[in-house]
Amino acid sequence: MSHSKPIYRNPWAWIPTLYFTQGIPYVIVMFVTVVMYNRLGVSNTEIALYTSWLYLPWVIKPLWSPLVDLFRTKRWWIITMQLIIGACMAGVAFTTPLPGFLQFTLAFFWIMAFSSATHDIAADGLYMLGLSKHEQAWFVGVRSTFYRIAMIAGQGALVIVAGFIESVTGLDDVDVRARTNPVIAIEEIRPPDEIAVRVSNEPLHIVAEPVDLEISTENRLRSEVDSIVAFARQWNLDKGFNPALEQDLADREAEEAKEPGWIRRNIIHPLEGFIESRFGPEEIVTDTEYTGNIGVVYFHLSNRPDAGEEVVINFGRVRGDNSISLVEGSYFRFTEDNWNVPGMAVIRIDDQLDFASSAAFQVRSGNIPLAWSITFFLLAGMFLLFFVYHRFMLPYPSVDKPAVRDPDQTIFGEFFKTFALFFKKERIGSILAFLLLYRFAEAQIVRLASPFLLDAQEIGGLALTTGQLGIAYGTVGLISLTIGGILGGIMAARHGLKFWLWPMVLAMNIPNLVYVYLSQSLPDSFMMISSAIALEQFGYGFGFTAYMLFMIYVSEGEHKTSHFAITTGFMALGMMIPGMFSGWIQELVGYPNFFLWVMIATIPAFIATWFIPLDKDFGKKDNGNVEESS
């Protein structure tokens, strides 16, 4: 369909929806993937590594941005990328319930990431081509606002929807209370084959026995405790309650049987050993033959599920005394073959706990793969609607056509000339160090914040539900981040970036201490957790203003659009690399020590900031035009 003259569209008819559409795939690839993979049982090391690699399209986006100028129109690129993104969301929805979901979904997320990065280039180009200079300045706040709304929708509403579907596709939760009693004697642990399975004619539900577990504070023989825990773990494996763990153990045994390569043998293994020995969780070594006591809770279903139906339950502590913890039995998968076989969950009390205390545990059920599959089907449908809407409502600017180049100048020649001019900037080393290191600590927190908030307390997490995460991190946190960003822009406009630079660096890094507090104290209060996240995200939003303004500052000049694209590539690289190894570090040292490491990792940002070049008046209202940041 060709147009001989430009067709004008009211900017309100397409700018809000265009930038909302631009933000959704980004927040899915960068944030929602972390939550989804955590709920599907992927390890933190794999989550951090694979989802950090998904940053790559934004890192190398400047490399193919000239193609968007040279071939077809910006309008064509936008609607085509939206169609591809929608198809990728449908692909994720279809493959999430499959056994090899990690490989399949990652492939679709990769395509989605490249399509989203290309969509960004085309959308920003159409924004500048389809609006006058005055309209560009006026609507810069509108596009930013609707991009932020997309962030809230992705991190908040989307995760809440997935959590709601989890809850309604599962069985009712069951509360279990574990209490210590210093006046009762040690009871013998009943083997699972002696547990009578109670079959019911009521609707299918989870049976937990007992729901009020009383454990003597008298110490038990260490050898007996270790034997019971090992028996329970093997029993749960043999009865098929955790096939993913069984496969993981088999993969580890196969990996250990192979001869390690030179790099793994001489670099990775020694480094892992050093980190674990110096910074890993402290192991309490004792010569006594006695240790704390244990109790066992047994689970089964009330009756046989339908053929092919699976009931997955998660069990863990939600509040109470940290000295009462789950040591085995956090995950059970019941089918028509093992529904009437008791699964074993072993709860242990610390050997120093000699008084009455308690902890609350909960059995949560839900079809997690189905919940995320439905969520992505809804997203695919939404993107199909956006594709149709923008197919008719995006403008047709007369200047939106493939670029015409001088026949004496090759594409690659012009491209490399633009790159060379950027790297010839004065003090380019300091500039690049700042772009790569300013968010060195925050890049690691972003990868592990959601797993930390979702993981059970026994492994150092806060045991939030998926819905609670959507409220605390995806809604309250993101609103605080937005407020911080707005306030940062107002302050920088009043006194200039240089005046506010160091307060913003402090705001970016010091609030990370809230995660040190949360990981050390493991608070039960959802309000406390939400408030801590709000504080950290507010600081992040306020401090990130300095980073964005500096990117605009170093991009000024003849090639400001291309140079700004280069700075965004380095920004993404600065997030990708630290994120890749953050999960590996966390699994070696545990959450408390990991967040202490994050505080140490803030130091490079302060050093890099000290050396950057900066005009003292840059950022003030009378210094530059708003539209230059687009």
Contact 566/436 with Cβ under 8 angstroms?
Answer: no
pLDDT interval class at 398 (50, 70, 90) = confident
Segment holding 331, helix H or strand E: strand 331-334
Segment holding 467, helix H or strand E: helix 466-471
Question: Measuring CA to CA, which residue among 182, 241, 174 is closest to residue 212?
Answer: 174
pLDDT at 413: 66
- Say how far apart CA 72 and CA 357 lie, in whole Å: 70
- Say how far apart CA 302 and CA 201 lie, in whole Å: 8
pLDDT at 134: 57
One DSSP character per residue, 131-156 reads: S-HHHHHHHHHHHHHHHHHHHHIIII
21-42 burial code (b ≥16 CB/10 A, e <16): bbbbbbbbbbbbbbbbbbbbeb
- Say how far apart CA 505 and CA 540 lie, in whole Å: 9
The answer to whether the pTM exceeds 0.85 is no
Pairing verdict, β 174-181 and 212-216: parallel
Q: Which residue has the higher pLDDT, 281 or 302?
A: 302
pLDDT interval class at 144 (50, 70, 90) = low
**Is 411-630 in the same CATH topology as 1-169+366-404?**
yes
In tens, the pLDDT along 68-95 reads 766 788 889 999 999 999 999 999 999 9
- Say how far apart CA 586 and CA 44 lie, in whole Å: 8
The two tokens of residue 432 are 């690049």
pLDDT at 213: 93
Q: Would you call the peptide bond into 210 cis, given omega within 30 degrees of 0 as the criterion?
A: yes
- Say how far apart CA 46 and CA 26 lie, in whole Å: 20
Question: Measuring CA to CA, which residue among 618, 578, 619 is closest to residue 51?
Answer: 578
pLDDT at 373: 92
Q: What three-state secondary structure class fits 20?
A: helix
| 494 CB-near residues (< 8 Å, 6+ apart) | 620, 621
- We find that the CATH architecture of domain 411-630 is Up-down Bundle (1.20)
Contact 108/95 with Cβ under 8 angstroms?
Answer: yes
Segment holding 428, helix H or strand E: helix 428-437
- We find that the CATH architecture of domain 1-169+366-404 is Up-down Bundle (1.20)
Q: Which residue has the higher pLDDT, 563 or 364?
A: 364
Scanning 510-617, the segments in alpha helix (DSSP H) are 513-521, 526-555, 560-600, 603-610
pLDDT at 42: 79
- On the question of pLDDT at 417 being above 50, the answer is yes
- On the question of pLDDT at 209 being above 80, the answer is yes
The two tokens of residue 428 are 């380019």
Please state the domain extents for the chain.
Answer: 1-169+366-404, 174-365, 411-630
pLDDT interval class at 264 (50, 70, 90) = low
Query: What does the mean pLDDT of the chain come to?
Result: 81
pLDDT interval class at 269 (50, 70, 90) = low
